[in-house]
């Protein structure tokens, strides 16, 4: 079965272009044009990935992203003409996996979709676990435990934590972590790693309290050592 992409976008010209390129690439495409249609279409179509515009009639894209994340951890790539970094970081904090600013190349969109889906398929095909003290990363089951606490992570958060656990004790730069989450290192998006790390720390703190798990090595990147509870 072809992988299904749900496009939530109110500009008909953009939808037509994306549909053309995505269908040529072998994807099945469904599109809706306003925010209120997004969640019903999401529940009905059960897409493999969502392309979500931020500036939508009826309902804001950030609110849609928040609601989708309550229902499923399917990858979400945001499309937007907003250029403010704050908007991008808010989207990532809500659980978006990637962020593409308009105007964009439809070929780049296809490449970014394939990179996100490759990561998901790679994670599901693994038959291994990673341990760092009380931290257990189940690559096959796409699950993470800290002691008795299971963490609910987005795909990008999982990939970052898995990369850090796989290189326990070593410092990974933002570009290295970006490559682990995107499949390609986009230098302009290094700050997205900081936001994903912030989200991870927040979820870890909720689970086990304010214990250091992911260390910041200033000017270099991030490091994870064995987690002692």
- Quick: pLDDT tens for 71-126: 888 889 988 876 665 666 676 777 788 888 888 899 989 988 988 887 766 555 44
* Record: fold of 126-224: Arc Repressor Mutant, subunit A (1.10.10)
**Assigned token pair, 77:** 């790539």
Pick from 126, 133, 208: nearest CA to 143: 126
Same fold, 4-121 and 126-224: no
Q: For the chain, how many helices (H) and strands (E)?
A: 8, 12
* Record: fold of 4-121: Rossmann fold (3.40.50)
Cβ count near 30 (within 10 Å): 15
State the pTM of this model.
0.59
3-state secondary structure of 208: helix
- Quick: pLDDT tens for 20-70: 999 999 999 999 999 999 999 999 999 999 999 988 888 988 899 989 988
Distance, CA of 24 to CA of 54 (rounded, Å) = 25
In the chain, what are the domain boundaries? 4-121, 126-224
- Quick: pLDDT tens for 145-179: 998 899 999 888 898 999 999 888 899 988 888 87
- Backbone conformation region of residue 90, classed left if phi is above 0, alpha if psi is from -120 to 50, else beta: alpha
């Amino acid at each position: 079965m072809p992988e299904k992409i749900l496009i939530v976008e109110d500009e008909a010209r953009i939808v037509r272009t994306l549909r053309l390129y995505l269908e040529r690439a072998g994807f099945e495409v469904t599109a809706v044009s306003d925010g209120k249609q997004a969640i019903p279409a999401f529940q009905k179509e059960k897409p493999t990935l969502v392309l979500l515009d931020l500036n939508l009639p009826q309902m804001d894209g950030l609110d849609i992203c928040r609601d989708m994340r309550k229902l499923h951890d399917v990858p979400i790539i945001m499309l937007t003409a907003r250029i403010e970094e704050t908007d991008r970081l808010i989207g990532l904090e809500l659980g978006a996996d990637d962020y593409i600013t308009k105007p964009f190349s439809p070929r780049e969109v296809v490449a970014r979709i394939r990179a996100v889906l490759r990561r998901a398929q790679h994670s599901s095909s693994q038959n291994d676990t990673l341990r760092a003290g009380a931290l257990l990363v189940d690559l096959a089951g796409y699950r993470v435990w800290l002691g008795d606490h299971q963490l609910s992570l987005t795909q990008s958060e999982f990939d970052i934590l898995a990369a850090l656990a796989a290189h326990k004790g070593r410092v990974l730069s933002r570009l290295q972590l970006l490559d682990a989450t995107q499949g390609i290192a986009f230098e302009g998006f290094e700050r997205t790693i900081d936001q994903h790390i912030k989200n991870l720390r927040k979820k870890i703190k909720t689970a086990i309290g304010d214990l250091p798990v992911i260390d910041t090595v200033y000017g270099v990147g991030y490091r994870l050592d064995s987690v002692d509870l």
